[in-house]
Structure 1
Amino acid sequence: MADIIIIGGGIVGLSSAYYLSKQGHKITVIDKGDIIDNCSFGNAGMIVPSHFVPLAAPGMIQQGIRWMFDSKSPFYVKPSLGGGLPSWGLKFLRNSTKKHVAESAVPLRDLSLLSKKLFEDLSKEPGFDFELTENGILAFYKTEKAAEEEAHLAKRAVELGLDMAVLSADECKALQPKLNLSVLGAVHYRCDAHVYPVKLMQALLNYLEKNNVVIARNHEVTRIETRSNKITTLFTGDVEWKADEYILAAGSWSPAVAKMLNLNLSIMPGKGYSFMEDEPEQRMTIPGLLCEARVAITPMNGQIRYGGTMEIAKINSQVNMNRVKGIVESVPNYFPDLKPALPELKDIWYGFRPSSPDGLPYIGRDHKLTNFTVATGHGMMGLSLGPATGLLVSQILNGQQTEVDMQAFSPNRS
């Protein structure tokens, strides 16, 4: 059995620790923060086999340019000559093709379906009550254009063996009778599910700490030493860490760590916002995606979580209240009786989604360093793909046959 250090305590890092510890390895998870406020805690909690279309897709560039001139829009790229944005942007542009979308569909589907099965298995384990709910997700639309796009997506999904159905407004109403709707219809992603992220992360942490996994909080990696194509020592300030294997699962902070190894990992942080509101009437029981507004709404723990936006920019601590207003103002357009108040600054969560330029995660061994494995770049699907990534990382490190074909996720791809 090996000594393994995992850099990053989000869902991917903890899932990797979970599967590796079950195989008897000695695991240490190192995180630059206290873990309790990373992307894995504040997201919409959606498990999404339906999301087989990568962010890099035809039309996204033109739509993104239009949105850049709207301060409340759901997508924004802050122009910058630094931070890797020019290189990332060129790769994003190169990958925004029909061919790339077609080639990505099966790998993303397979990864998502594996993850969903692992969520189901995990929910049956003692101590893992994280409110897994398998009633799908409804993608609501108000315009004929969005209806046409969603119908095309549903048709392709059915061809891929995914369970989806196009619903009229009346059929949507029948699923949630208490919820007043102002929509043309929706696609019911019946293959999808959702969880309460806070409970999931707490369950993973509790399991790992009870099973002798070391969780080193507030330890930022500051230097890494290598020799003969291997990592030998990792430093967090004055503290030395040594292991047989090293895994990079630091989300949007991964490029900074990779740079210490003279590796260029093309990832940009995509900032998203969310907030919670009480919903005592429990009118919403199925999570919703607002197609035109790009907002996600999830019932969880007796409340509703509203989330959205994708700001591609350097990591920063600023809260753009106009983006939050955009989320708030979009909701009543679809659900007239749901009127969330603009939250106070202290009640707004934000996190950084590690976004690769082709919309696919990086999972696999680096070709330069023989004891270094990358597991990051999952974009908006980090929580959804966390368990699958963790299992695949464990299989890679153990020299086992992986559950899915890994070629599309190679960290060495251009």
Structure 2
Amino acid sequence: MKPTVVIGGGVVGLFTAYFLQQQGEEVIVVDKGDMEENCSTGNAGMIVPSHIVPLASPGMIAKGMAWMFSSKSPFYIQPRLDKRLVDWCLQFYRHSNAAHVQRSIPYLKAISLYSKQLYLDFVATHGNEAIKLQDRGLLMLYKTKEGEKEEAALAHLARESGLRAEILSKDDIRKLEPHHEVDVLGGVYFPDDAHLSPKDLYRLLKNHLEKSGVQLQRNVTITGFEKSAGNVNAVMTNEGKIDCGQVMVCAGSWSGEIAKMLGFRLPMMGGKGYSFELPNTPELKQASILTEARVSQSPYGEKVRFGGTMEISSHVDKINMRRVQGIFESIKAYYPEFKAAFPSQDKIWKGMRPCSPDGLPYIGKAPGWENVAFGAGHSMMGVSLAPATGKLLADLKSGKIGTLKTDAFAVDRYAR
């Protein structure tokens, strides 16, 4: 039997390999990088069933236009002559409406809750010492009346969808953050959310897979495919040919380029984000999102990670220090007592989030191919949805039919 080749060694690719290996498959993971630092290692590490509204939603266009004129804003699109960017922006605009949000909610809720349970199962099997999963909820903090209105509406929407959400006063928040006088008007608490250490999760997955016999091939570039009669027989790389029985494409922001090699359209743009760790002094205890600033903070005992921005840019390796400054300034705005020193550039992480134009991931069979499937386009929810995506792809390979509805995530929805 020929092996299954997973293209992409991020957290989605590794969880796909994990569940395939559990089903007895021979698996080879191929990644164009060194599998040390990538989009899976420096993010907020949040597991967020509360995030049932896709990125393409009402109000995002107006906010995006306003943010475009601030060098420190949470969102930025680098203007450039790029047909892919223009097409992506048009599709994003078409999906930024209430009808799309209502259609998307049941799908995002179901896959997020499934993924959360898979994380709990993973911890039960492998222990929690390594990944530091903290099942303590997520706090959405707001400073303004406009922020209060938006977050209260989201809390109401979550409750209508069967999720738990609590609207908190400033005094309520003080109980969750006993070491800080948090400078906010109030917040919304989602008790079913969680967070973990993404770097430690990634390290654990790599070590487990290699010990289990999964091949991890690093610094390998995909150059094409050997095809016949609707099947891919081999993956062509700069290191040679890899014969395969199945291909799973989990290549993040570069999945669109792989789709192009296979002859179909998969709209995808990379949304660059930044983060950095600081000493947790005084100690922050509750994972939170600073809503007006669109900044996340995830505490891990002695350290806390701050992250944010969505920068649609062609400058993959460049760090925009003005946007990092915007993240940093938000710390004092919400936590005036926090002792923060601006990080040096070598301590700043950057990663390209894979963004589909409708804010929904691509999960399922590739159009026109019997043995190719995709799991990509998770935007800021890659870690959150990685176990569910990997399990769905592994079940697709084995022919198992689950109860989770996934048609909204169809890979061919822009190729029809």
Give the TM interval when normalised to the shorter protein.
over 0.9
Q: Distance in 2 between matches of 1:280 and 1:61?
A: 37
Q: Distance in 1 between matches of 2:276 and 2:143?
A: 24
Q: Any residues of structure 2 matched to 1:254-269 within 5 Å, and which?
A: 254-269=255-270
Counterpart residue number, 2:44: 44
Q: Any residues of structure 2 matched to 1:387-402 within 5 Å, and which?
A: 387-402=387-402
Residue-by-residue CA offset, 1:24-73 (whole Å, 9 max, x unaligned): 00000000011111111000010001110000001111110110000000
Counterpart code for 1:376: A
Q: Is the 8 A contact 2:280 2:301 kept in 1?
A: no
Residue-by-residue CA offset, 1:78-120 (whole Å, 9 max, x unaligned): 1222261011111101100100001101100001000000000
Counterpart code for 2:200: K
Q: Any residues of structure 2 matched to 1:241-256 within 5 Å, and which?
A: 241-256=242-257
Q: Distance in 1 between matches of 2:333 and 2:400?
A: 50
Counterpart residue number, 1:53: 53
Q: Distance in 2 between matches of 1:278 and 1:123?
A: 26
Worse-matched range after superposition: 246-255 or 398-407: 398-407
- SS of 2:76 mapped into structure 1: strand
Counterpart residue number, 2:368: 368
Q: Is the 8 A contact 1:88 1:357 kept in 2?
A: yes
User: How big is the shift at 1:406?
Assistant: 1.0
The answer on 1:164 being equivalent to 2:174 is no
Worse-matched range after superposition: 206-215 or 255-264: 255-264
Counterpart code for 2:264: L
Residue-by-residue CA offset, 1:265-303 (whole Å, 9 max, x unaligned): 10000000000111254x211111001000001102520
Q: Any residues of structure 2 matched to 1:321-400 within 5 Å, and which?
A: 321-400=321-400
Counterpart residue number, 1:311: 311
Residue-by-residue CA offset, 1:306-332 (whole Å, 9 max, x unaligned): 100000122521110000000001111
Counterpart residue number, 2:63: 63
Counterpart residue number, 1:175: 176
Counterpart code for 1:14: L
Q: Distance in 1 between matches of 2:274 and 2:52?
A: 23
- SS of 1:103 mapped into structure 2: helix
Worse-matched range after superposition: 214-223 or 335-344: 335-344
Going from structure 1 to structure 2, the CA distance change for 1:238 and 1:44 (only over 3 Å counts) comes to closer
Counterpart code for 2:275: S
Q: Distance in 2 between matches of 1:335 and 1:205?
A: 36
- SS of 1:42 mapped into structure 2: coil
Counterpart residue number, 1:226: 227
Q: Distance in 1 between matches of 2:341 and 2:268?
A: 34
Q: Distance in 2 between matches of 1:184 and 1:280?
A: 23
Counterpart code for 1:348: I
Q: Distance in 2 between matches of 1:385 and 1:240?
A: 31
Q: Distance in 2 between matches of 1:29 and 1:348?
A: 27
Structure 1: runs of 5 or more not aligned: none
Q: Distance in 2 between matches of 1:238 and 1:352?
A: 25
Counterpart residue number, 2:208: 207
Q: Distance in 1 between matches of 2:404 and 2:81?
A: 37
- SS of 1:292 mapped into structure 2: coil
- SS of 1:90 mapped into structure 2: helix
Q: Is the 8 A contact 1:60 1:96 kept in 2?
A: yes
- SS of 1:39 mapped into structure 2: coil
TM-score, normalised relative to structure 1: 0.97
User: How big is the shift at 1:233?
Assistant: 1.8
Q: Any residues of structure 2 matched to 1:289-304 within 5 Å, and which?
A: 289-300=289-300, 302-304=302-304
Q: Distance in 2 between matches of 1:278 and 1:323?
A: 21
Residue-by-residue CA offset, 1:131-182 (whole Å, 9 max, x unaligned): 1111101110000111011011101101111111000000000122112211
- SS of 2:326 mapped into structure 1: helix
Q: Is the 8 A contact 1:2 1:25 kept in 2?
A: no
Q: Is the 8 A contact 1:111 1:388 kept in 2?
A: yes
How many residues matched? Answer: 413
Counterpart residue number, 1:236: 237
Counterpart residue number, 2:6: 6
Q: Distance in 2 between matches of 1:157 and 1:309?
A: 24
User: How big is the shift at 1:13?
Assistant: 0.3
Q: Is the 8 A contact 2:132 2:197 kept in 1?
A: yes
The answer on 1:286 being equivalent to 2:304 is no
Q: Is the 8 A contact 1:315 1:352 kept in 2?
A: no
Counterpart code for 1:251: G
Q: Is the 8 A contact 2:264 2:367 kept in 1?
A: no
Going from structure 1 to structure 2, the CA distance change for 1:16 and 1:59 (only over 3 Å counts) comes to same
Counterpart residue number, 1:274: 275
Counterpart residue number, 2:74: 74
- What's the Cα RMSD here? 1.2
TM-score, normalised relative to structure 2: 0.97
Going from structure 1 to structure 2, the CA distance change for 1:223 and 1:83 (only over 3 Å counts) comes to farther
- SS of 2:174 mapped into structure 1: helix
Going from structure 1 to structure 2, the CA distance change for 1:199 and 1:336 (only over 3 Å counts) comes to same
